[in-house]
Structure 1
Amino acid sequence: WVNENLSLPLQWLAAAGAVVAAAMVWLRRLKFALIALVAVLAIRAVVPGIVSRVYVKPNELALQRPYIERHIQATRNAFGLGERTREVDFEARLDAPINPAKHKPLFDNVRLWDWRAFHDTVTQIQALRPYYVFPDSDVDRYTIGGQIRQVLLSPRELDVRNIATAGAGWINSHLIYTHGYGMVMAEANRMTPEGLPMLLIYDAPPKVDYPGLKLTRPEIYYGERTHDPVFVRTNQPEFDYPSGSENVHTRYEGSGGIPISSFPMRIAAALNRADWNILLTGYFTAESRMLIRRRIPERLSTLAGFIQWDPDPYLVLTEGGRLVWIVDGYTTADAHPYSRHTNVGGVGRINYIRNSVKATVDAYDGAVRMFVFQPGDPVIQAYWRLFPDLFAPAEQMPADVRPHTRYPEVIFRTQAEIYRTFHMRNPEAFYNKEDLWDIANNIQGEGGRARPMPPTFVVATLPGEPEPEFLLVLPFTPRNKDNLIGLMVARCDGPNLGELVFLKLSKQALIFGPMQIEARINQDQLISKDLSLWNQQGSQVLRGQMLVLPIEDTFLYVEAIYIQAAEARMPQLRKVVLAMGNNLIYEDTYDQALAKLVSLPVSGRPPEPGRPAEVTTAPAPAPAAAPSPAADQRVQAIRQHLERYRSLASQGRWAEAGKELEAVESLVR
């Protein structure tokens, strides 16, 4: 109110005062010029503050209401909360029954592997050599067996620093070790009897355990850990992958890079890189090429620096067997009228953002293509007119790549932070901060510390939708409370890509939030005892991120519990916790837990204060019969199995230790 009704008019007054002062100077009346200048500056400095304190503050809500309304609307529009969004009143109940057969596709896609646990495990079992690294692990979906299936995948890249520490020189770093090789892919909800991921693609050369997938071009010349420059098609064979005690070599067949055979090009490259080995080496041929700007973010920023590129590209396996990176690009602004400013990691302080562009980068030849996914964005419209050949419509993205596009986490986190406050559209409620929300906490990782939940990719069915789909979700709780109040969902599949759905829960009914489920887990004597035991004897408990999945009129909560040795980070899936309504299931495997969950009646009564929820495990054994003559032998056998269990557990051999416990259970029965 003060800016519009006082500050702007005073700007005109200042301009008029400047004209008067200039006239007085021209007329040689310097005293009057000084008086006019001081008067105008004093009015501008003093009057707005006095009016604000005396008149506006006592009547702030009434006077500021139209500006609050504009602020709310402008902020929602600037951060993409006004278009392609819908809010759904979700009447969730603790006692809502579910139909297991109807939701089999959802149950088959519950992700048990936390990406961090998966990443640590594949680093241990699939790195193959010290110079191979897995920079990141991503969640995606592929059609396997005719159904959408969640998978986790990690590219196997080459870290030249690990070669250098072994005494390698210029030839090794620039001519021989030029690229990463292959990837690891696993279904998100399957594991081996030892609690390790069930791999679909693994090893080098790549082994593919599902006929619908193929990897024909596994070399990664452009990635997240690649180094510059490397030289290909030289007289020195390139290392491709290890094979036993020998190495397999290759020769680059792609079109990436620039020719380096001519003497002027070698001089230019040597000067540019300050590396005279480029000029002096005798390994170059007439076909030699220099590959530069091989790291994905740097490559895109060099080509289109006016786009803010996501620092976390993700890898896609195409139907033809090639590896292609997808990178989200953002158009931003910091001068959107009335919109709130916020800091976005990797982008800066802005008050407008759109995911207008998605780029693809071929991992073998580095070919870059940019596709416009939000042609209505005025910022990308301007850039598209300036560089018409740089961008293409989204419809031209290859058909085997587009199904793997997704809603970016950077924008989703930013929108969630804005929505915590700006879900309130009533100016009075907004002004009084009556209904602030928080991003839900849960216990993650080692040590059992509570942290805000990150956005999570899941496969679930939205209310009113017939089929499960790939979604990005994030739960909310009321400010300083732990019960669930809302779920923010971004759709990722097909024509629904980019749509936001907000499930708003009733404030009159208690729906457990993630931390309340965590409290029920921690308060159970059996679970607490197991966690305490596993955190001893050289092992650590790693708790996966809790999944919050909407299903019919309720929520399914899923948490995986892993065990890893303190010295070697190789998590093994040990237990699965499922919660729905008042039922909390704790079992060795997901199949066992799910079978128990769907067979139990659903209770809508929350646990009594101070009393932990009932935990269902294996059925209690029937009362033992009278001791038989062989009872002493059974007792002795139980003691032996328990001793072996303690010994194996102390060594971190959990699969064998589990068999000893099964033997004890068999003897007890």
Structure 2
Amino acid sequence: MRIRKLLPALVGATIVIAIVLYVAFYFVFLDLFVDLWWFRSLQYEAYFWLRLLYRFILSGGVTLFFFAVFFFHFWIASRYLGLNPPDAVLLDADKRRRFQSFADVFMSGSSKVYTPLSFFLAVFIAIPFYEQWEKALLFFFGSASGIVEPVFEQDVSFYMLSYPIFMLIQQELLSTAIILFFLVGGLYWLEHIFVPNQSKEYPLGAKIHLTMLLGFIVLFVIWGFLLERYSLLYVDSHEPVFFGPGFVEMRYQLPLIWLSILFFLAMAVAGMVFIFSEKHRIKMPLIICAIGFVCVVGLRKVEFIPQLMTTFIVKPNPVKTEGVFMQHNIDATLDAYDLNNIKTIETTVSLDATKDIEEWSTKKHFENIPVWDREFLTDVYMQLQGIRPYYRFPAVDEDRYFLNNHYQQVNLAAREMNIKKLPAEAQNWENTHLRYTHGYGAVVTPAAQDAGKPIIWYLRDLNMTSDAGFKVKYPDIYYGQEPYHYAIMPNQLTVAGLSSSDPGTGSQYVGSGGVPIPGYFRKILFAFYFKDEKIFFSTNISTRSKMMIRRNLIDRINALTPFLHLDKDPYLVIDKDRFYWIQDAYTTSDKYPVSKPAADDFLDAKLDFNYIRNSVKIVVDAYDGSVDFYISEPDDPIIKGYNLAYPGLFKDLDEMPLELKKHLRYPRDLFYMQMKVYAKYHQITPELFYEQAETWQHATVNKQQVRPYFITMDFGNCNDREEFVMINPMTPINRDNLSMIGIAGTLNREQCGVSYDPGVTIYKFSKDVQVNGPAQVDALIDQDPDVSEQFTLWDQHGSSVQRGRMVILPMGNSILYVQPIYMLSTKTRIPELTRVIVSIGNQVVMDKTLWSAFNRLKKLFIKEVKDAAGSGTTVGD
């Protein structure tokens, strides 16, 4: 009978224990072990434990702190500092017994209620800290940047590293104090009504306790007002003219914040005097302070006063009243986006390009101008070098390599594995995880090619044929841009013909990547982790096998360093030993004071920020998956904080292998975003900034923006050495003529070595001579009768004509335009480079090779000069 009564309790306890064990196994134990093994395989075990320790200390410490605060105050309240019943109660035996029973329950048994309640409230309050524990590291490990903002004269690192945490702490402490005030007040009220024959007045001890809590509320509210001052640095009410505080905020809103602090503090003091005064309570000071506080808060909410100030003070004198605040916005934005060190070269474009053509036609390696666009090459590579149905080229990259005794720009792409291209019946577990596990090799083509000829290959086919000197010992690509599944390598299968031109050749993995599977314990844990029993029962997995997980580049890096923001374009680098991926990473903040927030077309619009640095270069080994982090912006306060918090994670950029360092580049998306900001903020005086007469925009062709593109060219800066740079053309806003050309590179022009020295140079054109922009050159091409006739002819023969990216190059005092023309067959859809168009000034020439087109252009200008001389006029009249 007794067992029958206990049976439901035992069943319930068993179910609860089973649920707890299940949750602990799947969400704590299993993830912890797999992550530990994975970090250990990458030689980041110390970093793994350090992250775990920080998270435990910060999250656990905050929870423990709030638990102690709640429990302490509940414990004080349960002791009831004024628990002294009248003597009549203590003399009456029955009343004394009832009182003692109440006191025993309230004082001794209360911990059974207050302990879980305190824990629940502590967890509830600490949830925001759990989500932002990594940002809190910057609060502890951050250091000053040395740059002081001019409004409140605080170091900018205070706003980026400390201010967000201060706001969080203030909100949580204020919430805690308010919750405690009402709960403790409720406890005192219950004690007061349950103790018989109490007087109407609360005892002094209860008043002191509640007053202390009220004092904390006052303190935290005042702290909130003080922090609110800094929020004025991020107002956008003056957009689109400028960002940040203006005349109204600093002359109206800021004084009201100080008045709010004054009246609230006075109201709190008056309230405390009222509470503790028993005989001579004076309500009037409390009422006056309360009315004053409400009026000040109300004045902050009304809009007609700021509107009057704007109408009668600001708008009649905008530059005079707001000029200093515009200057703050200009200076802060230029610094936040690292635009302070841009070199500007005033350039006058000559209408007579004969001299420039003569000089540049003798330059070495002028044929390095890229005429193959990577957007068109994707289809070419897939059609001509895909070879097997399961291979794919996810992206085409641009880079430079030292070939044929000079630096030459090339396009290259990794041949990665995509098993989804196989028939559905072949996409089984064994093929997915043991057989079709990796890509193989890469293709390389020169960016500059002649039209009408077969494409030139520097690296091709599965046997990695190369006439240019490329040779890779381990061409297998286990880690890349494809959404790879987990792979188990090496294994017992004989994989034949997947990664070689010889169908009888098998390949086995000999790298160090992956988590070892030495026995059944790890096999069964991995089976549970992936919810796949085949891992445990497969006889093709040996003790030499390794589990490769997180093989996608982005997933892999994000799992290691979720606090870094990754560029959208990782690129492939070929070394003599193997392939590597280089990934640019950024540190960002949305709290740089008075800096304009970035547009929403950067990093997939997933991030709001007004400060950015390309602080880290990440190298991922495509064969064994090793990941190395190199600091490229050592002055960035954010990366300095993380470097102090995680010793050993980051390396100095000088430690990067020389062969990889040669291939560092300026990030394309970063340059695009910087130029988008600089288009307005290059006007560095309040007068120019307000007028907006010289605002730029990205050049457009057929309503499409001309995005930055790479080019390798000798600009005469480093002893005939070619520079790998990006070009970004911009036009006046709502106009098509060219205003400037921005060039971003990494070459140190003083040392001319391989040191990484990113910088931007602006070639700014004078307004005396109109310089044709891409849209105007595009119109000239359309107006050329020979070109139009040829385009019409091609379109009638089962092909379509596609224009490639328009390359713009400053050439002395002239601007050179080069545009490739592709022909796409309606059957094969393989792009073919058919012609190259070259333009300088108003002259347009189309030919099969860049050199022949350039020479024809040269003859046209010489003829134009002669004709002008014979007629007694100047070129351009």
8 Å Cα contact 1:124/1:569 also seen in 2 = no
- Whether 2:569 is the aligned partner of 1:323: answer no
- Whether 2:773 is the aligned partner of 1:513: answer yes
- Whether 2:832 is the aligned partner of 1:572: answer yes
8 Å Cα contact 2:263/2:290 also seen in 1 = no
1:329-478 alignment, distance < 5 Å = 329-342=585-598, 343=600, 344-346=602-604, 348-442=607-701, 449-462=702-715, 466-467=719-720, 468-478=722-732
Change in Cα spacing, 1:101 to 1:32, as seen in structure 2 (3 Å) is closer
Change in Cα spacing, 1:522 to 1:61, as seen in structure 2 (3 Å) is same
Deviations 1:410-440 (A, max 9, x none): 2101101001111111211211222111111
8 Å Cα contact 1:175/1:232 also seen in 2 = yes
**Counterpart of 1:40 in 2: which secondary structure?**
helix
Cα distance in 2 for partners of 1:123, 1:232 equals 27
- Whether 2:822 is the aligned partner of 1:562: answer yes
- Whether 2:378 is the aligned partner of 1:119: answer yes
Cα distance in 1 for partners of 2:542, 2:511 equals 16
Deviations 1:14-54 (A, max 9, x none): 11222233344442737546523321222222344443343
Residue number in structure 2 paired with 1:663: none
* Pairwise CA distance, 1:267: 2.1
* Pairwise CA distance, 1:464: 5.9
**Counterpart of 1:256 in 2: which secondary structure?**
coil
1:63-142 alignment, distance < 5 Å = 63-83=321-341, 85-96=342-353, 97-98=355-356, 99-100=358-359, 103-142=362-401
User: Which amino acid is 2:338 matched to?
Assistant: G
Cα distance in 2 for partners of 1:587, 1:452 equals 26
8 Å Cα contact 1:259/1:289 also seen in 2 = yes
Change in Cα spacing, 1:266 to 1:372, as seen in structure 2 (3 Å) is same
- Whether 2:248 is the aligned partner of 1:2: answer yes
* Pairwise CA distance, 1:402: 0.7
**Counterpart of 1:251 in 2: which secondary structure?**
coil
**Counterpart of 2:410 in 1: which secondary structure?**
strand
| Structure number with bigger Rg | 2
> More strand per residue: 1 or 2?
1
Deviations 1:465-504 (A, max 9, x none): 6533111011011111111110011013334631110110
8 Å Cα contact 1:544/1:559 also seen in 2 = yes
Q: Give the alignment's TM-score, normalised by structure 1.
A: 0.85
Select the residue among 254, 259, 283 that pairs with 1:13: 259
Cα distance in 1 for partners of 2:496, 2:757 equals 41
- Whether 2:438 is the aligned partner of 1:179: answer yes
> More helix per residue: 1 or 2?
2
8 Å Cα contact 1:239/1:250 also seen in 2 = yes
1:636-651 alignment, distance < 5 Å = none
Cα distance in 2 for partners of 1:514, 1:240 equals 48
Select the residue among 739, 747, 759 that pairs with 1:485: 739
Residue number in structure 1 paired with 2:56: none
Aligned residues with identical type, % of pairs: 33
1:192-341 alignment, distance < 5 Å = 194-210=452-468, 212-238=469-495, 241=498, 246=503, 248-318=505-575, 320-341=576-597
Deviations 1:552-577 (A, max 9, x none): 11111101101011243210111111
* Pairwise CA distance, 1:511: 1.2
Change in Cα spacing, 1:164 to 1:175, as seen in structure 2 (3 Å) is farther
8 Å Cα contact 2:420/2:427 also seen in 1 = no
Select the residue among 488, 499, 503 that pairs with 2:759: 499
Change in Cα spacing, 1:465 to 1:261, as seen in structure 2 (3 Å) is closer
Deviations 1:567-618 (A, max 9, x none): 432101111111123321111232321232233435589x9xxxxxxxxxxx
Residue number in structure 2 paired with 1:649: none
Cα distance in 2 for partners of 1:570, 1:492 equals 35
User: Which amino acid is 1:271 matched to?
Assistant: F
Deviations 1:55-81 (A, max 9, x none): 223322211111111111110111010
Change in Cα spacing, 1:383 to 1:103, as seen in structure 2 (3 Å) is farther
**Counterpart of 1:400 in 2: which secondary structure?**
helix
Cα distance in 2 for partners of 1:239, 1:179 equals 13
Cα distance in 2 for partners of 1:225, 1:323 equals 15
Change in Cα spacing, 1:507 to 1:148, as seen in structure 2 (3 Å) is same
More displaced, 270-279 or 124-133?
270-279
Cα distance in 2 for partners of 1:127, 1:326 equals 23
User: Which amino acid is 1:601 matched to?
Assistant: F
Cα distance in 2 for partners of 1:465, 1:317 equals 25
Structure 1 residue runs of 5 or longer lacking an equivalent are: 443-448, 608-669
Superposition CA RMSD, Å: 2.2
Cα distance in 2 for partners of 1:518, 1:58 equals 44
8 Å Cα contact 2:360/2:811 also seen in 1 = no
8 Å Cα contact 2:439/2:499 also seen in 1 = no
Residue number in structure 2 paired with 1:39: 295
8 Å Cα contact 1:487/1:503 also seen in 2 = yes
Cα distance in 2 for partners of 1:244, 1:153 equals 20
Residue number in structure 2 paired with 1:617: none
Q: Alignment length, in residue pairs? A: 596
Cα distance in 1 for partners of 2:564, 2:829 equals 38
Cα distance in 1 for partners of 2:497, 2:745 equals 39
Change in Cα spacing, 1:103 to 1:16, as seen in structure 2 (3 Å) is farther
**Counterpart of 2:426 in 1: which secondary structure?**
coil
Cα distance in 1 for partners of 2:612, 2:835 equals 41
**Counterpart of 2:614 in 1: which secondary structure?**
strand
Deviations 1:355-410 (A, max 9, x none): 11101111100111111111111111111111120111111110111111100012
